[in-house]
Amino acid sequence: GSANAFPAILSHGGCAVLQESFEPGEALELLERERCSVYYGMANMARAMLEHPDRRWRVLPAMRTGLTIGLPEDIEMTIDAVGARELCNVYGATETYGNCAVTDAHDPLELRLTTQGRPLPGMEIRVVEPDTGRPLPPGEVGEFRVRGHVTPGYYRDAEQTRAAFDADGFFVTGDLGLLGEDGRVRFRGRLKELIKTSGANVAPLEVEAILATHPAVKQAYVVGVPDRDRGEVGVAAVELNAGATATVEALTAFCRERLASYKVPARIVFRTAEQIPRTATGKVQKPRLREELS
């Protein structure tokens, strides 16, 4: 991973500060001692540093910019955690050379929170109807497809390589999103995570973003589970802020005021951070969460 990042660091005379494995206390020490100016990491790592007892007295005056991904609340939290006021939002995949769209460090904060910027030079992103491949106009949610500086294919796997590209040579990402009238990318989640309820599509990321604006909610994770009548319904696993209280009824009403009725989770359950299945790097394992909530 990060094969695209290291050449950029070295070609600009930079120094990479690494850990064998992530530990928030040590990371804070390194950021301060080495006067790091760029943060390149996930929001869950930034949250671990923000909540670490050492954060109160660590001074990070050199931190300026960096890259991360996540909901607007995640990115704003990351800015607070490490002090990177010019933090950038990014969209991409391993097959698209990591980053294929990035916000500019000097874009207004609102754009860096809610979009992933414009395609980088040499990259072309189109939004299509997933089932037909028909290009969609600006503002409509569909599947992202990318052409340009992308992988030529998968090593010794001709079948997977053929399936990964459409007839026009665009890489099929499996990601949902839209391109605005301004040409900016707006990521909406993974196609395989799309919830199809009574024939209508629900993007979990949209529901998670609404729940995350509730003052009692720290994090929310929405998955689709089988339902006899509607085919599939959304279920939200909600982690509350320390000391906060909320009821299922209150959160459901909160969603009803802000979402179309079919997007409101059919069920809301409360979970602690430790009860949310994650990978070794802290990424939420939604397939496992789906199994647990089914």
Query: Domain 5-84: which topology?
Result: Rossmann fold (3.40.50)
Local confidence pLDDT in tens for the 294 residues of the chain: 577 778 888 899 999 999 999 999 999 999 999 999 999 998 999 999 999 999 999 999 999 999 999 889 999 999 999 999 999 999 999 999 888 999 999 999 999 999 999 999 999 999 999 989 999 999 999 999 999 999 999 999 999 999 999 999 999 999 999 999 999 999 999 999 999 999 898 999 999 999 999 999 999 999 999 999 999 999 999 999 999 999 999 999 999 999 999 999 999 999 999 999 998 878 899 999 999 999
**pLDDT recorded at residue 4:** 75
Whether the CB-CB separation of 108 and 249 falls below 8 Å is answered with no
- Using DSSP's 3-state secondary structure scheme, residue 154 falls into coil
CB 174 within 8 A of CB 189: no
Q: Which CATH class is domain 121-189?
A: mainly beta
Provide the residue count of the chain. 294
Cα R_g (the chain), whole angstroms = 20
CA distance 145 to 130: 10
List the CATH code of the domain at 194-293: 3.30.300.30
Domain ranges of the chain: 5-84, 121-189, 194-293
Local structure of 82: helix, strand or coil: helix
Give the tokens for residue 11.
């070609």
Gap between the Cα atoms of 125 and 123, Å rounded: 7
> Which pTM does this prediction carry?
0.84
